[in-house]
Amino acid sequence: MTSSSSKSIKNICVVGAGQMGIGIGLVAARVAKLNIQFVDSNPDQVQRGLAFLDSLLIKDVTRGRCTEDERTEVKSRISSAPSISEMNTADFVIEAVSENVQLKRKIFRELSEKLPQETILATNTSSISITKIASAARWPENVVGMHFMNPVPVMRLVEIIPGLQTSGDTLDATLELAQRMGKTTTMSQDVPGFIANRLLMPYINEAMVALQEGIATREDIDTTMKLGTNTPMGPLTLADFIGLDTCLAIMKVLHEELGDSKYRPAVLLQKYVDAGWLGVKSGRGIYKYE
């Protein structure tokens, strides 16, 4: 046995307390009833994230979906540490930092230096090669892709992606953990964008091209796709929700790794990111937010 089995998983570490990390931590603590430690070097980010997590628990108490005791109990199993060197040991780590391959490789190197060999190291990357991230770790057989969708507490899917060296034990434990978290899983090859973003990002990018070419207003592009294909958000609203910087980073991975001009990022997408218009999180993207 080279990695933890799902039944022995009790302590999870989530690296990165941004919107994805916080959502993953909440579901792991609330649904799978695991102990969670967030690792993030930015204390403001951790404080904001934990306050948001608590606001979701309070809403559930208000709506009668959770008792006050359960809220206290879930919170008692959540802690944080400012760095990997100061974190507690963990059976399973889920990395959820921004889409930067060098940063992710550094984190995986540090994690595998700090933690015992049997710890499984999962990355929530939305497009970067699992094999490339895994090669920075001491035991690449224990590294796997575990791609959650945003907002994590609401979305039912997790894509599981084995890298070239991922072991069968690691894969089995990851599938079981996702099920314990109440998620449905799909399995993808380790290819740029996996399944979800290979299909979703060219769609969002094409909506940016349509806007850039003046085919229609942003509202008409969104309304056409929202009402015409029965999706909760039109592509431009969804792009703002995901973050235009994230959309651009994923398009760049698709374009560079697959080498096909059909994945070239829209000029307007690059321009908005250059302007700091990143979507909901920066108060302005394709739309303005108060």
Enzyme catalytic residues: 126, 147, 159, 197
Among the residue ranges 83-91, 128-136, 138-146, 150-158, the one whose residues contact ligand CAA (CB under 6 A): 150-158
Whether the bond into 151 is cis, omega within 30 of 0: yes
Number of Cβ atoms within 10 Å of the Cβ of 125: 26
Stretch 192-231: interaction string toward ligand CAA, x if CB under 6 A: ----xx--x-------------------------------
Q: Does 232 bind ligand CAA (CB under 6 A)?
A: yes
Ordered DSSP codes for 200-233:
HHHHHHHHHHHHHTTSS-HHHHHHHHHHHTT-SS
Q: Shortest approach of ligand CAA to residue 128 CB, angstroms?
A: 11
Any idea what the Cα angle at residue 145 is, between residues 143 and 148, rounded to 5°? 140
Q: Shortest approach of ligand CAA to residue 209 CB, angstroms?
A: 18
Q: Which of 14, 74, 173, 238 binds ligand CAA (CB under 6 A)?
A: 238
Tokens 């919107």: give the residue.
Answer: 19
Q: Shortest approach of ligand CAA to residue 189 CB, angstroms?
A: 16
Q: Does 242 bind ligand CAA (CB under 6 A)?
A: yes
Joined tokens for residue 148: 């959650």
Cβ-based nearer residue to ligand CAA, 7 or 63: 63
Nearest to 161 by CA among 118, 126, 136: 126
Q: What is the C-alpha separation between 158 and 149, in angstroms, rounded?
A: 7
Residues pairing with 279 in the sheet: 284
Tokens 């509202």: give the residue.
Answer: 219
Q: Which of 5, 151, 171, 185 binds ligand CAA (CB under 6 A)?
A: 151
Binding positions for ligand CAA, rule: CB under 6 A: 23, 56, 126, 149-151, 153-155, 196-197, 200, 232-233, 238, 242, 246
